[in-house]
């Protein structure tokens, strides 16, 4: 089991190194196959680990393993240590499973890009980092994985590095995440100071040593800061929509299925710390609720297909934060899993459409794809229904159990339950707005030009200048590597939810029970009420979307201020620019101009002048006449002689 876990972790790293070192000795296609094979091998190892872990009794399903001491200092010893337990195996299965599908999809999607090898090296690096994050057996290794996923995310967002917007988005994502990393590092410092270790078991059994008061709250806040940054929750969410500059499979893997849900994993993993700081846990739930509504609202006005899905990702992670913040850990993790399925599906289906339309992402230019791309249409429909939480698709089972749990958690939970219900309506509305606009109606001129003229080569040439990268395209709905993986995900998104049906059968909750004992259990009635209401509101959202965007019977209400507010994403970017970036630039420029130049370098100029003048002054004594020197020598000797005689 331990060996399987190490194999699972290290195979993708091996693929990264192999592709990097091989350089052009490996074909582009070969790099794709190698990366896919390595991630698939990871998945197989994860399955093996899972099967072996099933053999243990539930109380004994925790197996740490240390390879070597990574960092030491006196008594402190932070090992290269992984932990195989139900939670990490759950995440390994999700990450490696969805990951292998998406990397396989990339073979078709990235075909023809002239830096394909680099892409697959990065993808494998990402999978390694993500596995390190979920397998890390102490907070330090978790943090290392945490930082490395940020790095691979940076590399992949900025993959098309001659686009200024992609580079800006990549830098923004990295810096935002660095802020979260910094708060997390501070939390770890407190933990080290108080418990002298970072191993999960030691820290969790010593949460008392963290001190009941400020210390544990500080630790929890620091961890929450990291979680919020990584999972794009308020207030550190602004990087995620921009991150859509990366290739679509990257958005599917990193910015939907795996990395952005790391915050949820972190809270579940460190739940003993958070439970010792209940206020912070409630804050997490509140931030999740606020994000889910805010993101839902912004999604209503976005016109870029990937950005709409990105905002829906933020919104869905908001649900997960809501769940784990209220102590319904298994519900959150379950939603994490189903979300990984249906959101990856949505992105990849969108990717097929984008691919077919020569890289166009603006939904206003799309329309009527239903008849032209029937397979994509079905896949997207399943994803959208699942996202909205319509039974029997997977989102229904996971999202409604979150809402049920919220209803059971006192007045605070009930308030958040209400917010979640609003979110359900919004989800139905924005998801089906996207769906109807893209797939229904008559094909737009743009779509006709690309899909109905029959000659792709012609279209491709015409639009190369428009976007040099995503324009490499294939006939119809793409090669087998793309359609097959999307097909698998469609099945998973449709049926994955049946894994757990709250109140009836609960294998996920039982599996995670030893790691994260839930703080809240919903009663059957609460589940039923939530489900009925949520489905009703979701359907209402769909109906409204149908009226406005499919039948076009109702005009969408136009309110200039609201429109502007939403289109500017509540002015967060502008606010941060004004509050942090510009002051930093001003401070740096000011320091250069007013401190470095005049004071530090100026002091040098003063010093040099002083030395030179001193030198010139003494230089005047030097007449160059031997006689003067001789006289001074003689005079000095005379003086010394007199002094010697006199002093005696």
Partner 1 sequence: MKGPDVVWYLALAGFLFCTGALGVLIRRSPLIVLLSLEIMLNGANLALIAFSRHYAQGDGQIFALTVMAVAASEVVVGLGLIVAIARKNLDLDVDKLSTLRG
Partner 2 sequence: MTSGWLTTVLILFPIAAGLLVWLLPLRPFAIGSTALLFALIEVGLWIDSVARFDFSRPGLQLDQRTSWFSDLHVSYHVGFYGFSLWLAGLTVVVLAAAIGYAFWAGRDRPRAYYGLMLILTGAIVGVFVAQDLLLFYVFWEAMLIPLYFLVGVWGGAGRLRATLLFVIYTMAGSLLMLASIIVLGLSQGTFDLVDSGTNGSDWIFLGFVAAFAVKAPLFPLHAWLPEAYRESSPEVAAVLSGVVSKAAAYGFLRIAISKFPEPVADFRTPILVLAACGLVYGSLLAFRAPDVRGVIAYSSLAQMGLIVLGLFAVNDLGLNGAVLQMVNHGLISATLFLLAGGIERRTSTGELALLGGMARGRPALATMLMTAGVIALAVPGSAAFAGEFAILAGVFQTGWGWAVVGAIAIVLAAMYMLRLISAVLHQAPGPAVSEAALDLRPAELGVLVPLVALLLVLSAWPAAITDHSFGGSASHAVSQVFK
Q: Which residues bind partner 1 (CB under 8 A)?
A: 619, 622-627, 630-631, 634
Q: Which of 20, 66, 202, 563 binds partner 2 (CB under 8 A)?
A: 20
Q: Rounded to whole angstroms, what are the CA distances from 252 to 33, 290, 340?
A: 19, 24, 9
Select 74 or 624, whichever has its Cβ closest to partner 1.
624
Reference 263, options 193, 201, 314, 208; nearest CA is 314
Three-state secondary-structure class, residue 505: strand
Q: Decide which of partner 1, partner 2, none touches 626; Cβ closer than 5 to 8 Å per partner kind.
A: partner 1
- CB proximity list for 199: less than 8 A, separation 6 or greater: 64, 79, 81, 137, 138
CB contact at 8 A, 164 and 136: no
By CB under 8 A, residue 167 contacts partner 2:
yes
70 binds partner 2 (CB under 8 A): yes
Q: How far is the CB of 632 from partner 1 (least distance, A)?
A: 11
Question: Which positions from 546 to 585 touch partner 2 by CB under 8 A, shown as an x/- string?
Answer: --------------------------------------xx
18 binds, among partner 1, partner 2, none (CB under 5 to 8 A by kind): none
CB of 636 to partner 1, least distance (A): 13
Q: Which of residues 175, 464, 484, 550 is near partner 2 by CB under 8 A? A: 175
E strands in 5-164: 63-73, 76-84
DSSP letter for 63, please.
Answer: E
Contact 486, 352 (CB under 8 A): yes
Query: Which range of residues in 153-161, 245-253, 457-465, 554-562 is near partner 2 by CB under 8 A?
Result: 153-161
- Nearest distance from residue 640's CB to partner 1, in Å? 15
Minimum CB–partner distance for residue 627 and partner 1 (Å): 6
Binding marks (x or -) toward partner 2, 118..147, rule CB under 8 A?
x-------------x-------x--xxxxx
Start-to-end Cα distance in the chain: 95
Question: Considering beta carbons, is residue 564 or 600 the nearer one to partner 2?
Answer: 600
Is residue 148 close enough to count as binding partner 2 by CB under 8 A? Answer: yes
d(CA 482, CA 489): 11
| Beta pairing class for 76-84 and 63-73 | antiparallel
Among 607, 634, 640, 643, which residue sits at the site for partner 2 (rule: CB under 8 A)? 607
- Helix or strand holding residue 276 (H, E): helix 271-276
Residue 154 touches which member of partner 2, partner 1, none, C-beta under 5-8 Å by kind: partner 2
Task: Look at the chain and count its residues.
Answer: 648
Cα separation, 356 vs 120, in Å, equals 22
Q: Which two tokens stand for residue 172?
A: 């923004």
Closest approach, Cβ 623 to partner 1, in A, equals 6
Nearest-approach distance from CB 300 to partner 2, in angstroms: 33
Q: Which does 622 bind (CB under 5 to 8 A by kind): partner 1, partner 2, none?
A: partner 1
Number of alpha helices (DSSP H) and beta strands (DSSP E) in the chain:
29, 2
Q: Assess 179 for contact with partner 2 (CB under 8 A).
A: yes
How many whole angstroms separate alpha carbon 222 and alpha carbon 428?
34
* Pick 3 or 639: Cβ nearer partner 1: 639
630 binds, among partner 1, partner 2, none (CB under 5 to 8 A by kind): partner 1
**Environment class of residue 353 by beta-carbon count within 10 Å: exposed (0-12), middle (13-18) or buried (19+)?**
buried
Residue 619 partner contact from partner 1, partner 2, none using kind-dependent CB cut-offs of 5 to 8 Å: partner 1
Of 16 and 248, the one with the shorter C-beta distance to partner 2 is: 16
Cα–Cα dist 396/390, whole Å:
5
213 binds, among partner 1, partner 2, none (CB under 5 to 8 A by kind): none
Selected binder of partner 2 within 27, 112, 189, 642 (CB under 8 A) = 189
CA distance 37 to 12: 9
In the numeric block, the tokens 């001003």 are attached to: 586
Count CB-CB contacts under 10 A for residue 478: 25
Beta-carbon contacts of residue 31 (< 8 Å; ≥ 6 apart): 19, 22, 116, 117, 120, 121
Whole-number minimum distance, CB 455 to partner 2, in Å? 30
Pick one of 57, 59, 75, 618: the residue that binds partner 2 (CB under 8 A): 75
Closest approach, Cβ 70 to partner 2, in A, equals 6
- CA–CA separation, 485 and 347 (whole Å): 12
Taking CB under 8 A as the rule, does residue 164 contact partner 2? Answer: yes
* Contacts with 610 (C-beta within 8 Å, 6 or more apart), sequence order: none
Closest CA to 103 of 630, 482, 382: 482
The listed partner (partner 2, partner 1, none) that binds 627, CB under 5 to 8 Å by sort, is partner 1
Count of residues interacting with partner 2 (CB under 8 A): 63
Residue 623 touches which member of partner 2, partner 1, none, C-beta under 5-8 Å by kind: partner 1
Q: Is 185 in the site for partner 2 (CB under 8 A)?
A: yes
Alpha-helix runs per DSSP H in 326-473 = 329-356, 369-372, 374-388, 394-407, 410-439, 445-451, 456-463
Alpha-carbon separation of residue 473 from 304, 447, 460 (angstroms): 20, 14, 8
Site track for partner 2 across 433-472, x = CB under 8 A? ----------------------------------------
H or E segment and range at residue 391? none
Q: Does residue 206 touch partner 2 according to CB under 8 A?
A: no
Our finding on whether 592 is near partner 2 (CB under 8 A) is yes
Q: Which does 529 bind (CB under 5 to 8 A by kind): partner 1, partner 2, none?
A: none
Closer of 630 and 640 to partner 1 (Cβ): 630
| Residue 134: CB minimum distance to partner 2, A | 15
CA 35, CA 109: separation in Å to the nearest integer?
14
* Residue linked to tokens 């000659």: 455
- Binding region for partner 2 (CB under 8 A): 20, 23, 68-76, 118, 132, 140, 143-148, 150-151, 154-155, 158, 161-164, 167, 170-171, 174-175, 178-179, 181-183, 185-186, 188-190, 192-193, 584-585, 587-589, 591-592, 595-596, 599-601, 603-604, 607-608, 611
């Amino acid at each position: 089991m331990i060996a399987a876990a190490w194999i699972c972790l290290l195979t993708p790293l091996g693929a990264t190194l192999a592709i990097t070192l091989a350089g052009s000795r490996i074909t582009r296609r070969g790099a794709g196959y190698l990366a896919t094979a390595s991630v698939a091998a990871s998945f197989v190892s994860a399955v093996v680990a899972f099967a072996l872990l099933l053999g243990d009794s539930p109380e004994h399903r925790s197996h740490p393993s240390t390879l070597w001491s990574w960092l030491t200092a006196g008594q402190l010893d932070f090992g290269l240590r992984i932990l195989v337990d139900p939670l990490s195996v759950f995440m390994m299965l999700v990450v490696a499973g969805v990951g292998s599908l998406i990397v396989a999809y990339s073979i078709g999607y990235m075909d023809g890009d002239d830096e394909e090898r680099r892409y697959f090296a990065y993808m494998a690096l990402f999978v390694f980092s993500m596995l390190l994050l979920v397998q890390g057996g102490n907070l330090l290794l978790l943090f290392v994985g945490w930082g490395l996923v940020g790095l691979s995310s940076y590399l992949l967002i900025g993959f098309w590095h001659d686009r200024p917007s992609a580079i800006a988005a990549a830098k923004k994502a990295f810096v935002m995440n660095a802020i979260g990393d910094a708060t997390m590092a501070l939390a770890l410092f407190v933990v080290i100071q108080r418990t002298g270790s970072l191993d999960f078991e030691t820290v969790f059994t010593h949460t008392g040593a963290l001190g009941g008061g400020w210390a544990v709250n500080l630790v929890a806040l620091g961890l929450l800061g990291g979680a919020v940054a990584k999972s794009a929750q308020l207030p550190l969410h602004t990087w995620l929509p921009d991150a859509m500059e990366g290739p679509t499979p990257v958005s599917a893997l990193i910015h939907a299925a795996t990395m952005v849900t790391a915050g949820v994993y972190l809270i579940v993993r460190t739940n003993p710390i958070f439970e010792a700081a209940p206020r912070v846990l409630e804050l997490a739930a509140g931030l999740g609720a606020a994000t889910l509504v805010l993101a839902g609202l912004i999604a209503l006005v976005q016109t870029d297909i990937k950005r709409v899905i990105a905002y829906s990702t933020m919104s869905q992670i908001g649900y997960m934060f809501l769940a784990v913040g209220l102590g319904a850990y298994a519900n959150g993790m379950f939603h994490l899993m189903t979300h990984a399925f249906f959101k990856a599906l949505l992105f990849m289906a969108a990717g097929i459409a984008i691919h077919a339309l020569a890289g166009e992402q603006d939904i206003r230019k799309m329309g009527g794809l239903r008849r032209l791309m029937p397979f994509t249409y079905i896949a997207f429909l399943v994803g959208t229904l699942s996202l909205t939480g319509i039974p029997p698709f997977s989102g229904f089972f996971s999202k409604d159990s979150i809402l049920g749990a919220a209803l059971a958690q006192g007045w605070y939970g009930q308030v958040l339950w209400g917010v979640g219900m609003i979110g359900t309506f919004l989800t139905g509305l924005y998801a089906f707005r996207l769906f109807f606009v893209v797939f229904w109606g008559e094909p737009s001129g743009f779509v006709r030009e690309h899909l109905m003229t029959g000659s792709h080569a012609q279209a491709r040439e015409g639009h190369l200048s428009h976007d040099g990268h995503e324009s490499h395209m294939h006939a119809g709905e793409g090669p087998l590597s793309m359609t097959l993986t999307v097909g698998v995900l469609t099945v998973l998104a449709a049926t994955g939810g049946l894994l757990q049906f709250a109140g009836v059968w609960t294998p996920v909750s039982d599996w995670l029970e030893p790691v994260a004992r839930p703080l809240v259990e919903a009663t059957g009635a609460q589940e039923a009420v939530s489900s009925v209401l949520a489905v009703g509101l979701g359907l209402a959202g769909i109906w409204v979307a149908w009226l406005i965007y499919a039948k076009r019977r109702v005009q969408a209400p136009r309110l200039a201020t609201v429109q502007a507010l939403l289109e500017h994403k509540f002015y967060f970017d502008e606010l941060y620019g004004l509050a942090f970036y510009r002051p930093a630039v001003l401070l740096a420029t000011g320091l250069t101009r007013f401190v470095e130049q005049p004071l530090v370098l100026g002091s040098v100029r003063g010093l040099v002048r002083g030395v030179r003048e001193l030198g010139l002054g003494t230089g005047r004594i030097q007449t160059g006449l031997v006689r003067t020197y001789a006289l001074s020598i003689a005079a000095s000797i005379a003086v010394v002689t007199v002094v010697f005689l006199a002093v005696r």
